[in-house]
Chains A and B, each alone.
Chain A
Amino acid sequence: MAKDLVVTLHDAVVLSSGFPLLSGVELEIEAQTLSVVTGANGAGKTSLLRLLAGLVSLSSGEGTVAGIDLVNGDLRQLRRRVGWLGHEGSFYNDLSVRENLVFAASALERPLDDIDAAAHRVGLGSRLETTTKALSAGQRRRLGLAWLLLRRAELWLLDEPYASLDDQGRVFFDALLADVVDAGASVVLSAHDPLRSATLHPREIVVRGGRVAGGAS
């Protein structure tokens, strides 16, 4: 039986100052799957993820993400339903790990009791009171994952999540993503190269020149 589609894009175009970031993207992604978007620098991987997160608008074409129409739907509503982790990190540097998570949980109206569990799940249980700017790049990435665990998002969008992770971190990350998909969420992540994972077998979507050049459906 075919699964529901969590993403459908048809002839999707995204322009920035007249320059096409995405030009005529055709894409379908089934729910409860793991997909990896690959491509060279500037191919449009991040733009595609930002479109799916509702962070940029469609300039033309049509599409739906998590059942929300990208043309006429409420993008603010879409943003609340996806989990976004950018490759730069995404936190207030002067706040502690706990304070960042309290802010996110409060904004999303999630119980604060979940914070300790999320921090322990990503291996930051002993760093809850550490100021975020004192964390290493890999620990900041783990904080981003804790932030996403709190969200309980139905679509996880991760921009180059394996950057800054050591081998141990990659294994941990693979296990976490497998759990997330098993729990019913969908994951789309970007990477320069095809995923080298012993446990994950994602669908590969190749992006080239702002178009999906392979693995569109």
Chain B
Amino acid sequence: MIRTAWLVAKKDLLIERRSRVLLWQVLPFGAMALLLSGLALGPAHAGTSSAGPGLFYLVMLFVALLMINRSYVIESTPGTRASVQTLGLDPAGVFLGKSLALCVELWLSGLVLLAGTVLVLHTGLHGALVALPSVLVTLAAMSAAGTLYGALTAGAQGAATLLPVLTLPAFAPLLVAGERSFSAALTHSGLWEWWLIVAVALVAYVGVGILLYGVLEES
């Protein structure tokens, strides 16, 4: 399982490095969305608004949806799916590999957009740094959940539009917990209860993915 996971993650990240979709398309989109959020808040509220963490996660949601969709588009070249199926890869390993690659991509995006949040929305740098570990765990949980739902919608008619509809209910608790955790870091209040929710969700999604990914692939 671990060998397959490493193989799949390495392949997905290599494809991303080659295609540069994250670098030249998704990250600029995220940066623009963050900038527009700052403009929507207006200069009077910059630095004083508590909306920074929420806007950060809203933009991360858009970025995550694009990257989940991308993760399955690379498998959907005509013929590729059938050929890879005949390699007989361990589905749990495939799930872990795709989740890991997506997680690395979301972490890179998260770091850039977190810096953007500090610059554009004037969120406190110290608070952002304190919130960083919780952001990374939240994005890891989103990767695991997103990989599951990506497999569910891959190959379906209108997969790109079906994915957000199905994923949002799963992401909602993660986004709320992530936002609360980020806000708590900014106000130096209780951080751990929100951390715990995200960590439990991460473990749950990884467990469900390992158990059910093969079934989703076959269906």
Contact = CB atoms under 8 A, between A and B. Distances in A.
Interface in A46-77: 50, 53-55, 76-77
Given A86-B79, A90-B80, A91-B77, A80 B86 contact: yes
Contacts of B84: 90
A94 to B, nearest CB: 4
Interface string A80-107: 1011111111111111000100011011
Contacts of B11: 92, 95, 99, 103
A82 B86 contact: yes
A76 B88 contact: yes
A85 B83 CA distance: 7
Interface string B67-81: 000000010011110
A51 to B, nearest CB: 12
A83 B74 CA distance: 21
Contacts of B172: none
A10 interface: no
A83 B82 contact: no
Residue from A84, A91, A94, A147 whose CB has the most chain B CB atoms within 10 Å? A94
Contact of A53 (B74, B82, B89): B82
Contact of A55 (B4, B14, B18, B86): B86
Q: How large is the interface on A (under 10, 10 to 19, 20 to 34, 35 or more residues)?
A: 20 to 34
B15 A88 contact: no
B184 interface: no
Nearest to B15: A94
B85 interface: yes
A90 B88 contact: no
B71 to A, nearest CB: 13
A106 B7 contact: yes
Contact of B88 (A77, A85, A144): A77
A108 interface: yes
B88 A95 contact: no
Interface in B46-94: 74, 77-80, 82-89
A147 B83 contact: yes
A130 interface: no
B78 A86 contact: yes
B25 interface: no
Nearest to A83: B86
A38 to B, nearest CB: 21
Contacts of A54: 86
B145 to A, nearest CB: 25
A139 interface: no
Interface string B1-29: 00010010001001100110000000000
Contact of A103 (B7, B19, B78): B7
Contacts of B78: 86, 88-89
Nearest to A85: B83
21 contacts: A53-B82, A54-B86, A76-B88, A79-B85, A84-B86, A86-B79, A88-B77, A88-B78, A88-B79, A89-B79, A92-B11, A92-B77, A92-B80, A93-B77, A94-B14, A95-B11, A103-B7, A107-B4, A107-B88, A131-B18, A147-B83
Given A79-B88, A144-B83, 19 more contacts: A55-B82, A79-B87, A80-B87, A82-B86, A84-B82, A86-B79, A86-B83, A88-B78, A89-B78, A90-B84, A91-B80, A91-B83, A92-B15, A92-B80, A93-B77, A104-B87, A106-B7, A107-B88, A131-B18
A-B pairs, top 4 by smallest CB distance, nearest first, are A90-B83, A88-B78, A80-B88, A88-B79
